[in-house]
Amino acid sequence: MNRVELDQLLDDKEDFCKWGEETRQALRELADEYDGQVPLQQPKSSVSTAEVIDKFLASKKSANRSEATIKSYGDTLRPFACAYPTLPTTPEEIEAYLGEHRGNGTTGETIYIVIRLLYRWASNRLGVANPMPQVERPIAKAKPPQHLTITQAEALLNAIQTDREQGLVYCLFGLGLRLGEVIRLKVADIGEDTILVHGKERDEQLPLLPEIRDILLKLTDGKSPTEAVFQGRQGLLSDSTIQVIIKTLFDRAGITGVRPSPHTLRHTKGVLSTMLGLDQFSSKRLLRHASTEMTDRYNQLNLGELRLKDKQYNPLLRLLSKAELGKKPDFTQFKADTVLSDDPAELLPELLDRLIELGQMAQQLSHALGSNGHRPEAAKELISALLSTG
């Protein structure tokens, strides 16, 4: 991996935080190695920190970084410019600044990562000194991702009072959209049984369940195809307004001990779907997580198969129907009145459901076996599941 490729990988803080700890650590060490190969140059006198930050942000904007990423960089770097109007050139100055944020969870490490990106860019582009290889990295334990329990999720749904609140919860919890994806959602993106999601890296089609489509159409009544689904009094609904709405819902539902944020609802869908029995291939695809290891396998699921998975395992539908969490649908048992029926055609719906279930298990078995017999534990589990349906 060359220096340019590494910079691209490290550049998006949101994606970086989603990788596994071993992967993140390996990238950090590689970045430190590259930084160590760049000799410290003689510092330029009176380089304005704010001016360097402005150029850095403008460069990232030109490189089509997301608005959320650029805003995050700006929010992290502006206080640094206030503390040091002239760009620091010694590791001691930067370590002193990072020390002021010690004990704030992952804050110190987050600031360190962004400042390192700034100096790496400034060294390559402007020729200023890069003291970051000599700066000690802050060590902090990352907080585990938070999600709602099934009881809390049900309380949240019961706390909804308006169509807009319902639409937001259905998009974040039912579809698993990110905050930015909700804001970018337009009327024209809503199809008959699919929805076009404008992600950070690319646009993707997702299955759209009727229960979610109905509320979205209710919100878009009278709007043109190019208008945003969620709008406020002054146009596009802002991310801060959505966060306030979600916090209000949490308070109204009496939910405490969990961070009241849009991402908590997205993460809740992933966790509860897994508890309901959704396989990891479909879960990764539905939530559109970045994974170089699993990408090929996710792409093998077509939209129709993905729709069946979402309908079968979506926690929102389970809550709406009051189904028991963790209980998988049983396609092996026919209803007594159906078995005793004189009309064989009445058996077809149950039979088709069973065939779909078996076909999905067979495909998962194929994924688990792979082309050279890897993942024997997953294969054994799936074979047992197949035998139990016989």
d(CA 362, CA 385) in angstroms, rounded, equals 10
How confident is the model over 243-258, as pLDDT tens digits?
999 999 999 999 999 9
Name beta bridge partners: 232: 235
Q: Which residue type sits at 13? A: K
> DSSP secondary-structure letter at 172?
I
How confident is the model over 80-102, as pLDDT tens digits?
999 999 999 899 999 999 888 76
How confident is the model over 201-212, as pLDDT tens digits?
789 999 999 999
* CATH class of the domain whose range is 150-320: mainly alpha
Token pair for residue 147?
Answer: 């999600």
Token pair for residue 144?
Answer: 């585990």
Tell me what the pLDDT averaged over the chain comes to: 76
Sign of CA dihedral 374, 377, 380, 385: negative
CB atoms within 10 A of CB 146: 15
pLDDT of res. 338: 37
How confident is the model over 102-146, as pLDDT tens digits?
644 456 778 888 999 999 999 999 888 899 999 988 776 656 668
More confident residue, 324 or 60: 60
What are the helix (H) ranges across 170-302?
179-183, 210-220, 239-253, 262-276, 280-287, 295-299
Return contacts of 234-240, CB within 8 angstroms, 24+ apart.
236/183, 237/183, 238/183, 239/68, 239/179, 239/180, 239/183
Q: Output the CA torsion 94→99→105→111 (10° steps).
A: -10
pLDDT of res. 174: 95
> Can you name the CATH fold of 3-134?
DNA polymerase; domain 1 (1.10.150)
Token pair for residue 196?
Answer: 């076009």
Q: How confident is the model at residue 331 (pLDDT cuts 50, 70, 90)?
A: very low
Query: Any idea where the domains of the chain sit in the sequence?
Result: 3-134, 150-320, 336-388
Token pair for residue 270?
Answer: 């992933």
Structure pTM?
Answer: 0.55
More confident residue, 33 or 116: 116
